[in-house]
Amino acid sequence: MTRILAFSDVSTWDGQKRLVDRYRPAVVALAGDVTSDGAASFWTAALERIPGFRRSRGSLRRRLGVTYSRTRKVDVIPGAAVDEWREGMRVLEQRFRHTPAFLAARKRMHVDRFYSFLRYAGRVSRVLVVKGDHDDEFAGDYHVDRIESIQGCEEVSGRTITIQDWTFLGLGFEQAANRRTLRRLISELKGQVDVVVAHVPQDNVRLVAGLKPKVLVRGHYGGAAFIIDRTPAVFTSAGHAVIDLHKHAPPRIRCPDTDVDLWRRDLSQSYPWLVPYPTPTRIS
């Protein structure tokens, strides 16, 4: 049996090292959006590290009569000021997110912790990384050579690697979003790879499953396990998954921290070819 810990679209790197300690995986599969993500916590948390932003927000609060409830941790906005408050905050956030102070705070909070995680996980597991669509948002954050310079870590976008007799194929967003590239790969590699780690848009998920791996690890959207045309697939953007691979049995897929039932219902309704995986996906 080979255990894989898989996740993607990371909102925060807090607590991710503990997952490695808890599950002791042979392989950690990071399916993209690891240096940035649209829902990452740094978009708001890094602003709080900037005194100028906090002062400007305080001035806006006083002008519009907005108060902050410490018990509820929310702004209490007079009804007549809601639209002006929202627009004022949008302008402030946009302005400060382009400042050197924001970029430095974001890098410390997210990017540096990503590379710290790689160094930690790479000492006990093989770590495979593919590039997501958000990983290019800030130049220089996602660096292939830097990833591969870390013990135990491999950047596998667009290539295969063999670990414990299992063949892994990585598909970054650049490959997974290109249907011509996918069709070529399917014609060359169908049935020849065991695990696909891909950051793939929803419209191409079914096409990627045509590679017929033992399991597809999918980043970009969703959080649950499915069968796609007889191929097991786990969506990892809403939380981590633990996959136990067996040579002569279907993989065991568990999603401990994900609202599996909600994702199953919503995605299966929109995409009838997503059939919920029949084995239990929760663990305590």
Rounded to 5°, angle at Cα 131 from 152 and 276: 95
Mean pLDDT of the chain: 94
Q: Determine the average pLDDT of the residues in 167-171.
A: 98
CA dihedral 23, 38, 276, 159 (to 10 degrees): -70
| Position 282 pLDDT exceeds 60 | no
pLDDT at 223: 92
CATH T-level topology, domain 2-37+111-276? Purple Acid Phosphatase; chain A, domain 2 (3.60.21)
- pLDDT, average across residues 178-207: 96
Q: Positive or negative, the Cα torsion across 145, 147, 150, 151?
A: negative
- pLDDT of 258 strictly over 80: no
- pLDDT per position as a tens digit, 59-97: 999 999 999 998 988 999 999 999 999 999 999 999 999
Under the banding of pLDDT at 50, 70 and 90, the label for residue 283 is very low
pLDDT at 279: 63
Task: Answer yes or no: is pLDDT of 143 > 50.
Answer: yes
98-109 pLDDT, tens digit per residue, is: 999 999 999 999
Q: What are the structural domain ranges in the chain?
A: 2-37+111-276, 51-98
For residue 213, is pLDDT > 70?
yes
Q: What is the pLDDT of residue 280?
A: 54
What's the CA gap between 156 and 171, in Å, rounded? 7
Percent of the chain with pLDDT over 70: 98
Instruction: Provide φ and ψ at 43, rounded to 5°.
Output: -60, -35
Instruction: Say yes or no to pLDDT of 271 above 60.
Output: yes
Whether 169 has a pLDDT exceeding 70, the answer reads yes
Tokens of 255: 């999603």
Could you tell me which residue, 74 or 213, shows the higher pLDDT? 213
**Average pLDDT score over residue span 172-178:** 97
Q: Is the pLDDT of residue 25 over 60?
A: yes
